[in-house]
Amino acid sequence: MASEELQKDLEEVKVLLEKATRKRVRDALTAEKSKIETEIKNKMQQKSQK
């Protein structure tokens, strides 16, 4: 997935997190946010190594 798309996904997850009130939903969104951030970081590291 392109970094641009990942960034858009991350922004949307952040918006949903602000609206979420249920603990289970917030936990799921927080976990997804972490996964996306890790993926973005890994892509940036791969780019800098090339």
In the chain, how long is the greatest CA-to-CA distance? 43
Task: Pick the closest to residue 1 from 29, 42, 30 (CA basis).
Answer: 42
> According to the model, what pLDDT value does residue 16 have?
98
Q: Along the 50 residues of the chain, how does pLDDT read in single tens digits?
A: 788 999 999 999 999 999 999 999 999 999 999 999 999 999 999 888 87
> According to the model, what pLDDT value does residue 32 have?
98
Q: Give me the residue spans of the domains in the chain.
A: 19-49
> According to the model, what pLDDT value does residue 47 have?
83
Round to whole Å and give the CA distance between 8 and 2: 10
Q: Are 10 and 40 in contact (CB under 8 A)?
A: yes
Q: How far apart are the first and last CA of the chain?
A: 18
pTM of the predicted model as reported, rounded to 2 decimal places: 0.88
Round to whole Å and give the CA distance between 16 and 46: 29
